[in-house]
Amino acid sequence: MSTNTESTKFTIEFANRLKELPPYLFVEIDKAKREAMAQGRDVINLGVGDPDIPTPPHIIEAMKKAVEDGANHHYALDAGLPELKSEIAKWFEKRFNVPLDAKTELYPLVGSKEGIAHFPLGVINPKDKVLLTDPAYPAYRPTIQFADGKITNVPLKASNNFIPDLKKIESINNIKMMVINYPNNPTAAVASREFYEGLVRLAREKGFIILSDMAYSEIYFDGEKPISILEIDGAKDVAIEFHSFSKTYNMTGWRIGWACGNPTLIASLAKVKSNYDSGVFQAIQIAAIAALRSKDEVTEDIRNLYQERRDYLINGLRGIGWKIPPPKAAFYVWAKIPKGFNSSMECAKAFLDKADIVATPGNGFGEGGEGYIRMALTVPKDRINEAVDRLKKIL
């Protein structure tokens, strides 16, 4: 006896949490860039902030030796190599004059973005209120949404140097966490000690966590070093800070960073991560140790290069009538869109269609970014000069 079975058709769908997310900004920008290049166009990419210069040779050499050592071919220790944690603590105290307990107050990450993505899962419960600046780096929003947090936007205004208004934060009740990022992406703003002191005071009084992303700590200009929130008295009671090797040592593709700060917050992140990954590949940790032991000239040369490019771009754009305040840190120029454009997207589209220049529309960072465009300083000066010449023809 034969049995006829009718196949059941069904539709596989994304989870609702994915449906609610917009397309990831930088993936869309890369797609547009690749399409233009596939047409044979000479595209100048001022979009994604990915350093164009290679990782310093001594770091690469350390990696080569570590890769050849079979002892590094196994699962890494979740908590990181003790030698790496010790070097991070030494580097941090030298840079910020803040001691860290290497065992309880810091934790290596598979890139700081990974740590920031996992951290809310350890501290945010459904409907907890999380303050997020607007504009902001696009990756913050989904990390909060995936943890079922409820986002309240905090505007960043040019009139306040793109720093949150502490009085407005003081008026908000039942805050569980606030996310800040200085030096800031996309605005390139730098936070003052006064702001950090006020924010730490509010966090302690109102009982909320501060997540500080300091990926651009070493990309600063004119000798003005940004400070860490952990330099503020009482910050370790409420704050966790995320650092990255990506921008400091041109190691974006290596994927390594660290979190540091309050021991309980570090422990919550460690517990989440222990269920998601098995640590950073040990050879990369050894390369990171070599990076932290670099001579000061290594990071100084990187800073000087970006400062030269900043001045070159700013002066070039001023020469064609587009006056932009020079950024104090990070490798971005955040500028009001030129006259004649009605929106950030219209401006970015014209740059690509008419000048073969990729730039990032400000509204991709949130509603507060509308009316602005972001340009990355991650191309050589001759390409910056070419970009200015092309913009001169369309502006």
**Euclidean distance between CA atoms 201 and 10, whole angstroms:** 54
| pLDDT, tens only, 319-335 | 999 999 999 999 999 99
**Coil, strand or helix at 122:** helix
**Euclidean distance between CA atoms 163 and 105, whole angstroms:** 27
pTM: 0.94
**Euclidean distance between CA atoms 239 and 93, whole angstroms:** 17
Average pLDDT over residues 368-390: 97
pLDDT-derived band of residue 9, with 50, 70 and 90 as boundaries? confident
| pLDDT, tens only, 98-127 | 999 999 999 999 999 999 999 999 999 999
pLDDT, residue 7, reads: 63
**Euclidean distance between CA atoms 282 and 319, whole angstroms:** 49
**Among the four given CATH numbers 3.30.2010.10, 2.120.10.30, 3.40.640.10, 1.10.1200.10, the one describing domain 57-294:** 3.40.640.10
Query: Which of 3-12, 166-175, 298-307 is predicted least confidently?
Result: 3-12
Q: Mean pLDDT for the chain?
A: 94
pLDDT, residue 175, reads: 98
**Coil, strand or helix at 130:** strand
Tell which CATH architecture fits domain 22-51+297-394.
Answer: Alpha-Beta Complex (3.90)
pLDDT, residue 61, reads: 98
| pLDDT, tens only, 266-284 | 999 999 999 999 999 999 9
pLDDT, residue 119, reads: 98
Residue showing tokens 């009139």: 159
| pLDDT, tens only, 220-245 | 999 999 999 999 999 999 999 999 99
Average pLDDT over residues 364-390: 96
Phi-psi map region of 340: left, alpha, beta (phi>0 left; psi -120 to 50 alpha): left
Query: For residue 198, is pLDDT > 90?
Result: yes
Domain ranges of the chain: 22-51+297-394, 57-294
pLDDT, residue 6, reads: 58
pLDDT-derived band of residue 5, with 50, 70 and 90 as boundaries? low
